């Protein structure tokens, strides 16, 4: 007969082997992270299933205000997550100032942590098919019977988080598609909460709708076009609204220097309003109106949504490049005039 410490040793060994094979279980770090199952709101469309048999033996304390982590708190990201974020930025042609939450919403990829959880469930399904005499299954059965914070308890929490039946005693297979869907719903909610907390994403939040969120990623765009439409959408195009942030210019002074209207140079102003770019804008509309299905109505945000949706991204992007180039030329000319004027003043002073 094996002693308790020997069983624990075997389980640890089993977990280490499992970790080496790829999927890793949620770690203690995961538990304290912002999105732990027990601390993250569940989807409103689903009623949370009541936790079965294990509720009396739950290894973690129930969520309390003290351990209920704030969604705006940024936990340190794991190296694979950092790499995934870097890949997204590279593909979209944006720099490191691009908010990860907006990029995640654009891609709709599960965060690495949730992928790991999905792998746990996949491994569980393999265990369900396994012969009872095999060691991995014996160990997991032991783990379940111990009712402590082991691998099976973590899996149970993952299933709970995915609003699935988390009673493992029956060795019933998990619907992986459903779990993935639920994890994505929760993941998306986390990104949206983060996006809402960033002033930079004020326009993005208004433009966001989950039907068109993946349009840029899914469209076959050239790199410069993909980059400029993404920058405009997620608020990192170097307009005065954004560059003023780098120089701590108060919001009310970040007006457009291209036209003389003293208006905030926001993404909306640049694309829809700036008078100095009206010729380039007219060219864009002329080309778009050649498309018989093109219709634009509603307020300016609604119109921006249309301009930045899949069928028109290529045309809008091409003209955005022209508009941005024209803006650069105007600013350059103004800078030259300022320089000449300053030289004139300096000469007068001499
Ligand atoms: Zn302007």
Calculate the average pLDDT of the chain: 80
277 CA distance to ligand 1 middle (Å): 8
Q: For position 55, what pLDDT does the model report? A: 37
State the distance from the centre of ligand 1 to the C-alpha of 278, rounded, in angstroms. Answer: 10
Centre of ligand 1 to C-alpha 275, Å, is 6
Q: How far is the CA of 321 from the centre of ligand 1 (A)?
A: 16
Looking at the chain, the whole-number percentage of residues with pLDDT higher than 70 is 77
* Tokens read off for 227: 């980059």
Q: What is the pLDDT of residue 9?
A: 52
Q: What is the pLDDT of residue 75?
A: 61
Kindly give the distance from the C-alpha atom of residue 329 to the centroid of ligand 1, in angstroms, as a whole number: 13
Instruction: State the CB neighbour count (10 A cutoff) for residue 151.
Output: 21
Say how many Å lie between the CA of residue 255 and the centre of ligand 1. 8
CA of 139 to the centre of ligand 1 (A): 68
CA neighbours closer than 13 Å in the CB half-sphere of residue 334: 12
Residue with tokens 């009310």: 252
Q: How far is the CA of 258 from the centre of ligand 1 (A)?
A: 5
CA of 337 to the centre of ligand 1 (A): 18
HSE, side-chain direction, 13 A CA sphere, residue 28:
0
Look at residue 344 in the predicted model and tell me its pLDDT.
61
Task: Report CA(208)–ligand 1 centroid distance (Å).
Answer: 24
CA 269 / ligand 1 centre spacing (Å): 6
Section 236-240 average pLDDT: 93
Query: Tens digit of pLDDT for each residue in 249-262?
Result: 998 899 999 997 88
Q: Are 239 and 200 in contact (CB under 8 A)?
A: no
Please give the distance, rounded to the nearest whole angstrom, from the Cα atom of residue 325 to the centre of ligand 1: 14
Per residue in 98-118, pLDDT (tens digit) is: 999 999 999 999 999 999 999
Report pLDDT digits (tens) over 156-213. 889 988 888 878 888 888 999 999 999 999 999 999 999 999 988 989 999 998 888 9
Q: Give the side-chain half-sphere CA count within 13 A for 4.
A: 3
Query: With 60 as the cut, is the pLDDT of residue 50 above it?
Result: no
Question: Is the per-residue pLDDT at 345 higher than 70?
Answer: no
Neighbours of 339 (CB within 10 A): 10
Question: Quick one: how far is CA 237 from the chain centroid?
Answer: 18
The predicted model scores a pTM of 0.73
105 alpha carbon – ligand 1 mean position (Å): 29
How many beta carbons lie within 10 A of that of residue 268, not counting itself? 20
The answer to whether residues 230 and 216 touch, using CB atoms and an 8 Å cutoff, is: yes
| Span from the CA of 263 to the centroid of ligand 1 (angstroms) | 7
Q: How far is the CA of 313 from the centre of ligand 1 (A)?
A: 22
Centre of ligand 1 to C-alpha 272, Å, is 10
Helix, strand or coil, per DSSP, at residue 216:
helix
Distance 242 CA to ligand 1 centre (A): 14
Provide the 3-class DSSP secondary structure of residue 255: strand
């Amino acid at each position: 007969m094996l002693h308790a410490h020997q069983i624990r040793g075997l389980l640890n060994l089993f977990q280490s082997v499992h970790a080496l094979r790829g999927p890793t279980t949620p770690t203690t770090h995961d538990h304290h992270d912002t999105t732990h199952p027990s601390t993250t709101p569940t989807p409103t469309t689903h009623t949370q299933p009541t936790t079965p048999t294990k509720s009396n033996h739950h290894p973690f304390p129930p969520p309390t205000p003290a351990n209920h982590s704030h969604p705006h708190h940024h936990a340190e990201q794991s190296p694979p997550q950092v790499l995934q974020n870097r890949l997204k930025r590279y593909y979209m042609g944006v720099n490191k100032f691009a908010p990860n939450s907006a990029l995640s919403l654009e891609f709709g990829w599960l965060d690495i942590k949730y992928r790991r959880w999905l792998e746990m469930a996949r491994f569980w399904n393999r265990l369900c098919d396994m012969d009872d005499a095999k060691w991995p299954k014996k160990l997991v059965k032991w783990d379940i019977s111990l009712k402590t914070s082991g691998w099976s308890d973590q899996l149970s929490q993952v299933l709970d988080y995915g609003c699935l039946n988390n009673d493992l005693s029956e060795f019933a297979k998990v619907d992986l598609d459903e779990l993935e869907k639920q994890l994505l719903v929760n993941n998306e909610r986390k990104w949206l909460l983060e996006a809402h907390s960033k002033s930079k994403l004020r326009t993005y939040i208004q433009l966001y709708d989950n039907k068109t969120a993946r349009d840029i990623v899914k469209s076959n765009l050239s790199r410069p076009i993909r980059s400029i439409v993404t920058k405009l959408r997620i608020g990192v195009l170097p307009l005065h609204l954004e560059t003023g942030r780098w120089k701590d210019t108060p919001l009310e002074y970040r007006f457009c220097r291209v036209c003389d209207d003293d208006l905030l140079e926001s993404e909306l102003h640049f694309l829809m309003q700036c008078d100095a770019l009206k010729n380039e804008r007219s060219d864009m509309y002329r080309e778009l109106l050649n498309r018989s299905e093109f219709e634009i109505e509603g307020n300016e945000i609604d119109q921006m949504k249309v301009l930045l949706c899949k069928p028109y991204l290529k045309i809008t992007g091409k003209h955005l490049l022209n508009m941005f180039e024209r803006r650069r030329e105007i600013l350059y000319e103004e800078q030259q005039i300022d320089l000449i004027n300053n030289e004139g003043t300096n000469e007068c002073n001499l």
